[in-house]
Structure 1
């Protein structure tokens, strides 16, 4: 390699990439409801079963996190973007509307936390939603495989 040769740079990791990594994490290590990570997993377990948002956090940081505010600022922004994209997808395709006893709408958007924790939810539904949210992001932000 000559001194003037520029090695190829890596493509940036997109929010869609992170959502797909989170889906893959859940396929490999298991899905969980109620908390970010399975409470019956040992504290030193590097790959505990996780909820959708916990899996996104692991995809962003590369390891288990007990609190996402501990991430550096850039990673926190990336984490919030990926969760926001999942939320937008859920709002459009799989909304949950909570209505109080008087019939009034309590929640106008689908929280990925409450959606994940719905007693009727399945691991496959969560994994599929992460993958479809990633596909939707790609559809809106890429042209012929390249970022817009």
Structure 2
């Protein structure tokens, strides 16, 4: 290393890391349906939905839209949501269907899936962890990115 070389000081957080942290967040602070976060004023760490938990894992505070994030954090946040969506398509497919029987959406929405009455906290935590494992399997080979 040259004396003028400045090594990166921050660790690269992957979408899989965010998904695992979101699962841990839900275990510690609770799961919520209907909105990103449970309405409360007495805690900075409210119960959250799946995507709300990803936001908390990414920013450390409630995130209701990716524009609430630092510019550098947005791609990883959006990639984590995409990884969860891909995982849900394979393992928990829910598609909105119109009156003629045609799909209105191509992918399972993590928002609709989280709010489905049949969904539980255990389902959400398992899906976040499963999506993280899937992301690692697809993007890492012998400890490094492909």
- What aligned pairs does 1:1-148 form with structure 2 within 5 A after superposition? 11-39=11-39, 41-42=40-41, 45-148=43-146
Number of residue-to-residue matches in the alignment = 143
Change in Cα spacing, 1:8 to 1:102, as seen in structure 2 (3 Å) is closer
Specify every segment of 5 or more residues in structure 1 that has no aligned partner in the other structure, as ranges.
none
Q: Distance in 2 between matches of 1:71 and 1:80?
A: 11
Q: Distance in 2 between matches of 1:144 and 1:135?
A: 14
Change in Cα spacing, 1:136 to 1:23, as seen in structure 2 (3 Å) is same
Change in Cα spacing, 1:65 to 1:97, as seen in structure 2 (3 Å) is closer
Structure 1 residue ranges, 4+ long, deviating more than 6 angstroms after superposition: none
Q: Name the stretch that deviates more: 103-112 or 54-63.
A: 103-112
What secondary structure, in the 3-state scheme, does the structure 2 residue paired with 1:108 have? coil
Relative to the length of structure 2, the TM-score reads 0.88
Change in Cα spacing, 1:7 to 1:79, as seen in structure 2 (3 Å) is closer
Relative to the length of structure 1, the TM-score reads 0.86
Q: Distance in 2 between matches of 1:129 and 1:32?
A: 15
Instruction: Tell me, yes or no, if the aligned pair for 2:96 and 2:105 is still in contact at 8 Å.
Output: yes
Could you report, residue by residue, the CA deviation over 1:104-126 in whole angstroms, capped at 9, with x for unpaired residues? 22222101000100011000000
Q: Distance in 2 between matches of 1:113 and 1:16?
A: 19
